[in-house]
Amino acid sequence: MIIVTGAAGFIGSCIVARLNQEGESDLILVDHMPDDRKKGNLAGKTYRAYHDKTEFINKVKSGAMEPAVKAVIHMGACSSTTLQDEAYFTENNLEYTRTLAGWAMDHGIRFIYASSAATYGDGSVGYKDDDETVRRCRPLNLYGESKQKFDLWALENGHLDRMVGLKFFNVFGPNEYHKGDMRSVVAKAYRRVAEEGVIELFKSYEPDYADGEQKRDFIYVKDAVDIVLYFLNHPDINGIFNVGTGNARSWNDLAKALFLAVGRAPDIRYIEMPEVLRKRYQYFTEAEMSKLREAGYGREMTSLEDAVADYARYLKNESHL
């Protein structure tokens, strides 16, 4: 049996879809769905049971959750980079993960959890997923801080030889439709690009970067899921690993790929960035991928252009994995 938290969310539901494709249906899914926005992500999925996140963690704490579990894939967390509720992040992201990780380790259960590239902050410490860099990371927001605090807890308590933490970079793809303003730019811009032939990107406020030339490590969700399953299937490999492509691309590149995917000539317009974002904005992210490669993962990542073209086919009707 495999437990997937955040199972109705973006990456979590894509993991469930892939597990089903691999013949895994003995799944316990965990999430919180106060409304219907995420229900489409679980449509057609096969699993044993679904638990609300609070019900589930209470079962873990009380000893009522059966320990006959092969693995816990913990994707559940608040991923808002703008929320300013530190107490909520501490309870929902940090303490919840500590409790679940402790239970998994106590029962010899494989534990794979979502960290984030947000932990790297402005990138001044680099983007290596080694222990020294993990200790030096300075996130720019409370979400990143909550992920950093758990990474440090696992590292300083010697737990990283018994679990895997995955620092996801800019993941995009099907099943993110429920995320509102936290959706990828591809998802938010698709309809206007397809119907009007226009996209808006933030201006640059750094002289080293022209408008739209700020860069991110964009990784397609199908590649991210493949990496998760690699660690599920290789329980002897542990530690913190980046989940990116190792190839930073500009927002202009992303926009041009989307125009190409829908058959439109590029019309990119640059708009002012909200003041609240300017001091916390990352101008460059690029995952250092050598550690993952040295761990034996050899599959090539989907190119940005191919990934956007594939995603556009889903976006047309907001279809799901």
Q: What is the largest CA-CA distance in the chain?
A: 59
CA gap 11, 30 in Å, rounded: 13
CB of 47 closer than 8 Å to CB of 27: yes
Distances (CA, A) of 217 to 38, 138, 153: 26, 19, 26
Q: At what angle do helices 304-315 and 221-232 cross, to 10 degrees?
A: 100
Tell me which DSSP letter residue 82 carries: S
**30: helix, strand or coil:** strand
Q: State the catalytic residues.
A: 143, 179
Q: Report the Cα–Cα distance between both ends of the chain, in Å, rounded.
A: 21
Q: How many helices (H) and strands (E) does the chain have?
A: 12, 13
Contacts of residue 234, defined as CB under 8 A and 6 or more positions apart, other chains included, come to 295, 296
- DSSP, residue by residue, 277-297: HHTT--SB-----HHHHHTT-
Cα distance between residue 288 and residue 251, in whole Å: 20
